[in-house]
């Protein structure tokens, strides 16, 4: 099973950046993990953060505790906790977030609701993250191609 997207290929071998699967888990467990924290983790610790489940309330709590313990071990203090979103936009199958529609329209692309609904939660999460101005959104088009939303 691959935990990574093809558009992440330039950094997943070394895990020098936080992959989307971990970023989604961070939003789920409410921990603000900084890249400086991530870079202090061993490869084994990073792999564990990739593979640990974080789907149910119990798993999310356990994931957050494991992560906070790692951060405390490496830095001496816990990471900031984020407010939880009980209705994250990547789980909403009825509305395509406006930032995705706007980003797609920059390239004269339309994503239909039917296409949005066929995506996995992780794919929807990735598209949302790739539209943020603070993110490397050069991967938006490669993600659309990888998710079969853009044929080419």
Q: Which residue reads 């971990």 in tokens?
A: 22
pLDDT at residue number 135: 56
What average pLDDT does this structure show over 94-117?
95
Convert the pLDDT of each residue in 26-85 to its tens digit: 999 999 999 999 999 999 999 999 999 999 999 999 999 999 999 999 999 999 999 888
Considering the chain, what is the average pLDDT of its residues? Answer: 92
What pLDDT band is residue 147 in, cutting at 50, 70 and 90? very high
100 assigned to some structural domain: yes
CA distance 9 to 11: 5
Residues 62 and 93 in one domain: no
- Residues 32 and 79: beta-carbon distance below 8 Å: yes
Residues 94 and 129 in one domain: yes
Number of structural domains, the chain? 2
17 assigned to some structural domain: yes
Residues 56 and 98 in one domain: no
Residues 57 and 117 in one domain: no
| Global confidence as pTM | 0.91
- What pairs with residue 31 in β-bridges? 81
84 assigned to some structural domain: no
Residues 65 and 42 in one domain: yes
- Residues 142 and 6: beta-carbon distance below 8 Å: yes
55 assigned to some structural domain: yes
22 assigned to some structural domain: yes
Residues 104 and 54 in one domain: no
46: nearest Cα among 54, 55, 37: 37
151 assigned to some structural domain: no
């Amino acid at each position: 099973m691959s935990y990574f997207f093809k558009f992440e290929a330039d950094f997943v071998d070394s895990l020098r950046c936080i992959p989307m699967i971990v970023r989604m888990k961070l939003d789920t467990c409410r921990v603000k993990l900084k890249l400086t924290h991530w870079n202090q983790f061993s490869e084994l610790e990073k792999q564990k953060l990739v593979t640990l489940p974080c789907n149910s309330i119990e798993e999310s709590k356990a994931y957050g505790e494991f992560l906070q313990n790692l951060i405390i071990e490496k830095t001496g203090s816990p990471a900031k906790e984020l407010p939880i979103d009980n209705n994250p936009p990547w789980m909403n199958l009825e509305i395509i977030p406006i930032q995705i529609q706007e980003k797609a329209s920059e390239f004269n692309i339309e994503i239909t609701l039917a296409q949005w609904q066929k995506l996995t939660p992780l794919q929807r999460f990735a598209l949302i993250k790739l539209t943020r101005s603070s993110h490397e959104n050069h991967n938006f088009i490669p993600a659309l191609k990888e998710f079969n939303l853009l044929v080419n």
